[in-house]
Amino acid sequence: MTTETLDIKITRNPNSRLESTDFSKLVFGHTFTDHMLVADYADGEWKNFEILPYGPIALSPAISSLHYGQAFFEGLKAYKQADGQISIFRPDKNAARFNKSAKRLCAPELPVDLFIQSCAALVDIDRGWVPDSDGHSLYLRPFMFATDPYLGVVPSSTYKFIVLACPVGPYFTKPLRVKFETEFTRAAEGGFGFAKAAGNYAGAMLPTRKALEEGFDQLIWTDSKEHQYAEELGAANVMFLIDGKLVTPMTRDTILDGVTRDTVITLAKDEGIEVEERRVSIAEILEAARNGKLTDAFGAGTAATIAPIGAFHHDGEEYTLSDPASREFSNKLLNTLNDIRYGRVADTHGWNHLV
Ligand code: PLP
Ligand code: COI
């Protein structure tokens, strides 16, 4: 890790859209702030860090990320604190995961402090865009992609790193009706399911579209070998409260090691709740749903936050869970999480990075 201070060239946007943006009608990922941060990797180093007005960029149509998918991203959020300060939640974790993705996809790593400074600089210039209502935040989307204009299937020698920012509200607006996906596979052992690779999301689109057409809101991916064990949701990790214990699939090379997942596990342990990270079979989940031992189930992710699962569907049977509004565990968890993120209680874990 370097401790370099970034020299960022700044060109301010003369035509701010802030005043004309309706913060009560935000759709996830549709509204971008006035600026973006862009940097280049070439000749073995990161350079040309620049903040400029958000807008199109010129690229060769031959860049290898478009053809071979050498592209990956992160997602993290900035919050307006109760005292007016702005903080980014656990950016060090996203920076570390960004580099795990980079390694797996043969792309250059970005030093953790350059990742964090880049995000913080963009948030700083666009600080007026950080919403202040509960459940709202500024979503940051750092991403890297290969820019060599060659069609040879080799790792690129040049890359772009860009950070975009979007004011957002809740990603899911109602409890999720989910099905266990037992036909398609998101990731297999030895693959790159643990990376936040663009290709993982492309491969998920057809199964997800089918699930939506069948009336589901999301699917729960299962293991590639037997399709009997839960892995994660399409855009969040999955967690269950079974017999008073927090149970979640252990991370491995097929599962994204979620920052929210880690946060939830830490908060649950703080409360003295037993946590089990292990294989969780569909049969176990459905049996617990039948006998009343499954008292909570939810997705955990940056965009999704804590997204309650209202019902499971499997093999033609529907399993409706308790009313999410009455669930003690996930409601308290979300309140605690929000209290920390919005600076309403002490940040005892040091998760808020003040901008
Ligand atoms: N799993 C997938 C596939 C995701 O896209 C996400 C979202 O980032 C997560 C899990 C949750 O990860 P995090 O909590 O770091 O956002
Ligand atoms: C996130 O929560 O940051 C994600 O990446 C989910 C997403 C694909 C919208």
Q: What pLDDT, on the 0 to 100 scale, is given for residue 4?
A: 67
Report the pLDDT value the prediction gives residue 304, as an integer from 0 to 100. Answer: 93
Distance 355 CA to ligand 1 centre (A): 23
pLDDT confidence of residue 6: 87
Tens of pLDDT along the chain (355 residues)?
A: 445 688 999 999 999 999 999 999 999 999 999 999 999 999 999 999 999 999 999 999 999 999 999 999 999 999 999 899 999 999 999 999 999 999 999 999 999 999 999 999 999 999 999 998 889 999 999 999 999 999 999 999 999 999 999 999 989 989 999 999 999 999 999 999 999 999 999 999 999 999 999 999 999 999 999 999 999 998 999 999 999 999 999 999 999 999 999 999 999 999 999 999 999 999 999 999 999 999 999 999 999 999 999 999 999 999 999 999 999 999 999 999 999 999 999 999 999 999 9
Round to whole Å and give the CA distance between 141 and 135.
18
Give the pair of three-digit tokens for residue 38: 């862009």
Dihedral, CA of residue 252, residue 96, residue 308 and residue 26, to nearest 10: -140
Q: d(Cα 299, Cα 333) in Å, to the nearest integer?
A: 12
* Residue 117 in tokens: 């400074």
C-alpha 233/C-alpha 255 separation (Å) is 10
The DSSP output letter for 153 is S
User: Concatenated DSSP letters for 318-343?
Assistant: EEE---GGG-HHHHHHHHHHHHHHTT
Could you tell me if the CB of 75 is within 6 A of ligand 2? yes
Residue position matching structure tokens 């620049």: 50
Q: What pLDDT, on the 0 to 100 scale, is given for residue 170?
A: 87
* All domains of the chain in start order, with CATH: 9-169 (3.30.470.10), 176-341 (3.20.10.10)
pLDDT of 262: 98
Ligand (nearest to CA of 204): 1
Q: What b/e string do you get for 198-212 counting C-beta neighbours within 10 Å, with b at 16 or more?
A: bbbeebbeebbeebe
What is the amino acid identity at position 342?
Y
Atom of ligand 2 nearest to the CA of 28: 9
pLDDT at 5: 80
Q: State the ligand closest to the CA atom of 75.
A: 2
Q: At what angle do helices 328-341 and 259-270 cross, to 10 degrees?
A: 110
Q: In the block, which residue shows the tokens 């990161």?
A: 46
pTM: 0.96
pLDDT at position 3: 55
Q: How far is the CA of 103 from the centre of ligand 1 (A)?
A: 18
In angstroms, how far apart are the furthest CA atoms of the chain? 61
d(C-alpha 163, C-alpha 290), whole Å: 45
Ligand 1 atom closest to the Cα of residue 263 is 14
Cβ(116) – ligand 2 distance below 6 Å:
no
261 CA: nearest ligand 1 atom: 14
Rounded-to-integer distance, Cα 223 and Cα 282, Å = 11
- Residue 15: which residues within 8 A CB-CB, separation 6 or more? 53
What confidence score (pLDDT) does residue 1 get?
42
Task: Identify the residue whose C-alpha is closest to ligand 2 atom 5.
Answer: 75
Ligand 2, atom 7, residue with closest C-alpha: 235
Ligand 2 and 235: CB distance under 6 A: yes
